């Protein structure tokens, strides 16, 4: 009995010393991580003059929820939001469909040159993106795609090396006997892929959807180069350009910026599992 309590005591003491320290460091760090976002929310809820008070009010005295309406009226926000949403959805569809097809081809079909293409695609991941920027700009301009969304959307339909690679790795974990069973029943490759394999690979597809959407929702350089007409702008462009316009109305800017973040936050809270799994599997896949 005495020994038993001693052991328990020792274990608890071990917990309280090191782990309390751990907990405190983590908590301080967590506050630092959250603070900028919380500050953003308080600014977004402040009245026009309360933003510029010294010393600052850390909590708004009265909550101006109307900022979320006024803030979005000033800059044609909802049309821009719609543009961003359309572009992000199209890019996601394009990248998923093409990457799944390519992934299937590379993982399941046998043809000469397969290994070569596979290493070319994977190798292109190491190539910095800006290398192609100017020649492609010239190409799109000659095609008459300048000031349209085409230079952003069309490339998405021609495969994404990361996602194809991820899909190949995932398909390799699934036994070929599923394909063979369907083949004996006379199923075509497209049927096997869409009706047999896609349902089985839903977790990795969800991960790809989330990262693809996030990438498209965030992208800035391409819209900046190609889109001139403000009615075709994406939110990234609009928020970066209007930061000056809003110089005296931080509260309205922060309110609009929060709505820009909102879709990502929603995806994060409902798809957190896929974010975490995805980062893990992206990483372990690329190590092999």
Partner 1 sequence: MRVNNRKLRGWTKGYLFILPSIIGFSVFVAYPLLSSMYYALTEWSGYDTPQFVGFDNFKYMFTEDPAFWPSVRATLYFVLLSVPSSLILGLLLAMLLNKSLPGIKWFRTIYYLPTVVPSIASLTLWLFIYQPQYGLANSLLRLLGLPEGTWLTSEKTALPSLVLIGLWQVGSGVIIFLSGLQSVPQELYEAAEVDGAVRWRTALHITVPMITPILFLQLILGIIGAFQAFNQVQVLTGGGPNFSTSLLNFKIYNDAFGGRMFGYAIAEVWVLFVIIMIFTALTYRYSNRFVYYESDNAR
Give residues 199-238 in contact with partner 1 (rule: CB under 8 A): 214, 217-218, 220-221, 224-225, 235-236
- Candidates 2, 4, 49, 55; binder of partner 1 (CB under 8 A) is 55
The CA distance from 193 to 102, in Å, is 11
Size of residue set near partner 1 by CB under 8 A: 91
Residue 82 or residue 132: which is nearer to partner 1 going by CB? 132
End-to-end CA distance of the chain: 51
Grouping H, G, I as helix, E, B as strand and the rest as coil, residue 11 is helix
- The span of 1-9, 59-67, 120-128, 176-184 binding partner 1 (CB under 8 A) equals 120-128
Residue 49 or residue 231: which is nearer to partner 1 going by CB? 49
Nearest-CA neighbor of 255 among 16, 106, 43? 43
Q: Is 131 in the site for partner 1 (CB under 8 A)?
A: yes
268-287 footprint of partner 1 as x/- string (CB under 8 A) = x---x--xx--xx-xxx-xx
Q: Considering the complex, what minimum distance in angstroms separates the CB of residue 99 from partner 1?
A: 8
**153 close to 86: Cβ distance less than 8 angstroms:** no
Residue 136 or residue 200: which is nearer to partner 1 going by CB? 136
- Candidates 77, 104, 149, 274; binder of partner 1 (CB under 8 A) is 104
Give the total residue count for the chain: 288
Q: Is 189 in the site for partner 1 (CB under 8 A)?
A: yes
Q: Is 195 in the site for partner 1 (CB under 8 A)?
A: no
Q: Considering the complex, what minimum distance in angstroms separates the CB of residue 59 from partner 1?
A: 13
CA angle 266, 215, 253 (to 5 degrees): 60
Contacts of 83 (CB under 8 A, 6+ apart): 149, 232, 233, 234, 235
Q: Considering the complex, what minimum distance in angstroms separates the CB of residue 62 from partner 1?
A: 19
The 10 Å Cβ neighbour count of residue 160 is: 25
Residue 2 or residue 96: which is nearer to partner 1 going by CB? 96
Q: Is 86 in the site for partner 1 (CB under 8 A)?
A: no
**222 close to 152: Cβ distance less than 8 angstroms:** yes
* H-type alpha helices, 53-159: 67-73, 77-108, 114-124, 133-142, 150-153
- Candidates 51, 75, 96, 208; binder of partner 1 (CB under 8 A) is 51
Residue 2 or residue 33: which is nearer to partner 1 going by CB? 33
Q: Give the footprint of partner 1 on residues 141-180 (CB under 8 A).
A: 141, 155, 157-159, 161, 164
Grouping H, G, I as helix, E, B as strand and the rest as coil, residue 249 is coil
Grouping H, G, I as helix, E, B as strand and the rest as coil, residue 145 is coil
**Crossing angle between the packed helical segments 161-171 and 114-124, to the nearest 10 degrees:** 130
Q: Is 120 in the site for partner 1 (CB under 8 A)?
A: yes
Q: Is 82 in the site for partner 1 (CB under 8 A)?
A: no
Residue 102 or residue 205: which is nearer to partner 1 going by CB? 102
**207 close to 228: Cβ distance less than 8 angstroms:** no
Residue 59 or residue 130: which is nearer to partner 1 going by CB? 130
């Amino acid at each position: 009995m005495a020994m038993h309590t001693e052991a328990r005591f020792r274990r608890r003491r071990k917990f309280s010393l090191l782990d309390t320290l751990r907990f405190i460091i983590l908590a301080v760090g967590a506050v630092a991580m959250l603070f900028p976002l919380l500050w953003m929310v308080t600014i977004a809820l402040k009245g026009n003059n309360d933003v510029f008070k010294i010393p600052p009010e850390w909590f708004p005295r009265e909550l101006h929820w109307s900022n979320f309406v006024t803030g979005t009226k000033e800059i044609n926000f909802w049309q821009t939001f719609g543009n961003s949403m359309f572009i992000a959805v199209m890019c996601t569809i394009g990248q998923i469909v093409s990457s799944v097809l390519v992934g299937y081809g590379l993982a399941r079909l046998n043809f000469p040159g397969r290994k070569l293409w596979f290493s070319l695609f994977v190798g292109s991941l190491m190539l910095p993106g800006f290398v192609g920027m100017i020649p492609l700009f010239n190409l799109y301009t000659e095609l008459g795609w300048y000031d349209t969304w085409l230079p952003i959307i069309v490339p998405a339909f021609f495969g994404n090396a990361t996602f194809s690679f991820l899909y190949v790795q995932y398909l390799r974990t699934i036994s070929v006997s599923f394909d063979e069973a369907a083949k004996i029943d006379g199923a075509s490759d497209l049927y096997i892929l869409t009706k047999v394999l896609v349902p089985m690979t839903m977790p990795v597809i969800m991960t790809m959807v989330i990262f693809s959407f996030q990438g498209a929702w965030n992208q800035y350089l391409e819209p900046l180069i190609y889109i001139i007409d403000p009615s075709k702008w994406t939110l990234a462009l609009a928020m970066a350009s209007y930061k000056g316009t809003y110089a005296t109305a931080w509260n309205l800017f922060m309110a609009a910026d929060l709505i820009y973040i909102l879709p990502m936050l929603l995806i994060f809270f409902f798809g957190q599992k896929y974010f975490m799994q995805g980062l893990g599997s992206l990483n372990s896949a690329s190590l092999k």
